[in-house]
């Protein structure tokens, strides 16, 4: 689709009211939506990750990742794999053209570690490195800032075979990888995030088994969590040493936690959840220590915490990346056995029911996004913030024009909440919608469509949804009421 065809699609179909007539709690008023404004230099963008979009899983010297192994074992919904995904390795120029049509100024992508270092260490795979050079160059040519995440979950399988993230040696190998990427790509890329959602890497991969490599051992979780935190500190320094232009942060999921009741037990459970899910990795990077909410000698011993680690862990952020999807309701789940190593044992997590819900049960409560941003401002010294992901899955009618009215409403409400936070002093400089196009959504396979463009995975055709057209107008005008 060329630019003229894209613009031809009528914006008349996007006349969606800013707030519902029944005044659903948690929503933003139509008046506030009309008044919302964003700075002229605000960076509107999209986000994606290598395994979810690239495909070409074994092409041009790429090595296997833990997600290749996990998917090939049939662990994803409908036995999906990322072998082809959105075939972006072969279609990146046309995908970047779509970003340009949306008036995007930033794109967060990830490097596939095994594409550039097939075994995780050793010689660079030149063909893999050249791909990312071409990708970054195409973004820059389109006037889009390349924002690179070094690790979005696809660990080289060769390093998993050496123990994976529970192996402390992996911190040094990751730092070497970070330094190599900054050395080879630092002339093109200046914004770097070592990790995406480190909590899911460690707890999902090694504690609950919900994510690759699918291990279920909370003793491994504690070791993995500490290695990831050490790797973050070492990679931060490696990036800075290799590139004088490097601006380094990381991307953290933030899910506002509300107590189910005012009981002391529920409030304490909420504090524990918040400390581990929301604060754990940010706090240790900023302060060199883990949140004190029952991270004591036992946990530090499980981690293998060594003298001097606190100096490695603490780094000065240039910016902080935050994801937001929904808020959660927390309550106490009762006594916990002394030998239970799960940091969230005794915590019950539920989806609230006060606001409307999506078809997958996610509550829509835009004011929680505002609350989260104000909390980051208050607790972390008002850092520069990059919104590294937000979005949601909604079913949509597929035709020549795809009407995803609820997604437009969701974005409009949440962006209004963000505008209020900016007005109240939060230093948000960029917003990355998840995601440009429907892709592989991890364990859910291809069933959860979260893109601004509809992907026909049989033909790889991308079709703009109403949300793409609306987001293009926002990025062009800085207004939400168009």
The domains located in the chain, with CATH, are 3-477 (3.20.20.80)
Q: Could you identify the residue written with the tokens 């990036």?
A: 239
Tokens 């893109």 locate to 451
What's the rounded Cα separation, in Å, for the pair 60 and 268? 52
pLDDT of residue 394: 87
Q: Are 260 and 331 a contacting pair, CB within 8 Å?
A: yes
Q: Which residue has the tokens 């009309």?
A: 34
What does the alpha-carbon distance between residue 209 and residue 217 come to, in Å, rounded to a whole number? Answer: 8
Asked if the peptide bond before residue 435 counts as cis, ω within 30 degrees of 0, the response is yes
402 with 463: CB under 8 angstroms? yes
Q: Which helix (H) or strand (E) holds 340?
A: none
Round to whole Å and give the CA distance between 249 and 194: 7
d(CA 322, CA 124): 31
Helix (H, G, I), strand (E, B) or coil at 148: strand
Q: How far apart are CA 111 and CA 109, in angstroms?
A: 7
Residue with tokens 């862990």: 313
d(CA 450, CA 166): 32
User: According to the model, what pLDDT value does residue 397 have?
Assistant: 72
Measured over the CA atoms of residue 417, residue 32, residue 436 and residue 214, the dihedral's sign is positive
Mean pLDDT by 10 residues, the chain (482 residues): 41 36 72 96 98 98 98 98 98 98 98 98 98 98 99 98 98 98 98 97 97 98 98 98 98 97 97 94 95 80 96 98 97 95 96 92 96 97 98 83 93 98 98 98 96 97 97 97 78
Task: Tell me if 313 sits within 8 A of 305, measured CB to CB.
Answer: no
DSSP code at position 213? T
In this prediction, residue 23 carries a pLDDT of 55
* Cα–Cα nearest to 472, from 33, 3, 1: 3
CA distance 268 to 254: 18
Which pLDDT belongs to residue 20? 41
Phi, psi of 464 (to 5 degrees): -70, 135
Query: In this structure, what are the phi and psi dihedrals at residue 268, rounded to the nearest 5 degrees?
Result: -70, -40
Gap between the Cα atoms of 153 and 149, Å rounded: 10
| Strand residue runs (E) in 116-231 | 145-151, 191-195
| Dist CA 58 CA 42 (whole Å) | 38
d(CA 118, CA 129): 11
Residues paired with 247 in a beta bridge: 191
Q: What pLDDT does residue 293 have?
A: 58
Q: Supply φ then ψ for residue 153, to 5 degrees.
A: 90, -10
Who contacts 2 (Cβ-Cβ below 8 Å, separation ≥6)? Answer: none
């Amino acid at each position: 689709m060329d630019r003229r065809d894209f613009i031809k699609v009528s914006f008349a179909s996007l006349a969606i009211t800013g707030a519902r007539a029944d005044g659903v709690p948690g929503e933003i008023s139509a008046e506030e939506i009309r008044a919302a404004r964003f700075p002229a230099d605000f960076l509107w963008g999209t986000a994606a990750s290598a395994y979810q979009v690239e495909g070409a899983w074994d092409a041009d010297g790429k090595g296997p990742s833990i997600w290749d192994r996990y998917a090939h074992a049939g662990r994803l919904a409908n036995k999906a794999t990322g072998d082809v995904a959105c075939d972006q390795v072969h279609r990146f120029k046309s995908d970047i053209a779509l970003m340009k049509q949306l008036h995007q100024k930033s794109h967060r992508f990830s490097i596939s570690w095994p594409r550039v270092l097939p075994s995780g260490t050793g010689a660079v795979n030149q063909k893999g490195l050249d791909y990312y050079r071409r990708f970054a160059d195409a973004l820059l040519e389109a006037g889009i800032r390349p924002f690179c995440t070094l690790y979005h979950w696809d660990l080289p399988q060769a390093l998993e075979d050496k123990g994976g993230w529970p192996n402390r040696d992996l911190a040094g190998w990751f730092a070497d990888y970070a330094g190599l990427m900054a050395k080879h790509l630092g002339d093109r890329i200046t914004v770097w995030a070592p990790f995406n959602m480190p909590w899911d890497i460690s707890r999902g991969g090694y504690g609950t088994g919900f994510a690759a490599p699918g291990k279920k051992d909370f003793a491994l979780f504690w070791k993995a969590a500490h290695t990831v935190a050490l790797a973050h500190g070492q990679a931060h320094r490696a990036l800075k040493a290799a590139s004088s232009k490097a601006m380094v942060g990381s991307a953290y999921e933030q899910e506002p936690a509300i107590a189910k009741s005012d009981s002391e037990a529920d409030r304490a459970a909420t504090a524990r959840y918040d400390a581990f899910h929301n604060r754990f990795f940010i706090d240790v990077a900023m302060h060199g220590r883990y949140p004190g909410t029952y991270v004591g000698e036992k946990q530090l011993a499980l981690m293998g915490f060594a003298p001097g680690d606190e100096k490695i862990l603490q780094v000065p952020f240039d910016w902080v990346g935050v994801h937001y999807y929904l808020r959660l309701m927390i309550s106490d789940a009762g006594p916990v056995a002394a030998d239970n190593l799960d940091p969230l044992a005794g915590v019950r997590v539920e989806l609230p029911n006060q606001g409307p819900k999506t078809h997958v049960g996610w509550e829509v409560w835009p004011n929680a996004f505002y609350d989260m941003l104000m909390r980051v401002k208050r607790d972390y010294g008002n850092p520069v913030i990059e919104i590294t992901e937000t979005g949601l899955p909604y079913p949509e009618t597929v035709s020549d024009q795809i009407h995803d009215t609820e997604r437009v409403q969701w974005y409009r409400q949440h962006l209004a909440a963000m505008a209020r936070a900016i007005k109240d002093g939060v230093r948000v400089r960029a917003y990355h919608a998840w995601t440009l196009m429907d892709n592989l959504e991890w364990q859910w396979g291809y069933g959860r469509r979260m893109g601004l463009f509809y992907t026909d995975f049989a033909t790889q055709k991308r079709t703009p949804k109403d949300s793409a057209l609306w987001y293009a107008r926002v990025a062009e005008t800085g207004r939400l009421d168009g």
